[in-house]
Structure 1
Amino acid sequence: MEESLILQNRLRVARAEKKLSQGDLAKLVSVSRQTISSIETGQFCPSAKLALLICIALDKEFEELFYFE
């Protein structure tokens, strides 16, 4: 039986620490505000490139923002 891993994130908390709105972060990484919202709620799994851009924009390591559950 194969167990699936679900990518979770701490994006909302990290974004709040930087005092950025979803729109602000979206502009920094060149996506829509809806994309950031979908990532935060777990409805959308970002590509490796987008995850890296988000980490850079928030000055966080990947493991600080994303984890498997």
Structure 2
Amino acid sequence: MSIAKVTEVISASTVGIEDAVKQGVARASKTLDNITGVWVSDIKCTVNGDAITEWRCTLKLTFVLKD
């Protein structure tokens, strides 16, 4: 039987949403083992003038706990 846990992180990117998610998962996987899924629960943007300068994503990461 497996037990999973969910943790929440916020990641950012100047490139776009997909990049922010990839960076968040890559960074979280440095300290969390067995990540099995990610849910983007919120997206926010920083705007300067009429341009989006940064994308911020709130991620809920699911990982399986070790026995």
TM-score, length-scaled by structure 2: 0.26
| Larger Rg, first or second structure (1 or 2) | 2
Which of the pair is proportionally richer in strand? Answer: 2
TM-score, length-scaled by structure 1: 0.26
Which of the pair is proportionally richer in helix? Answer: 1
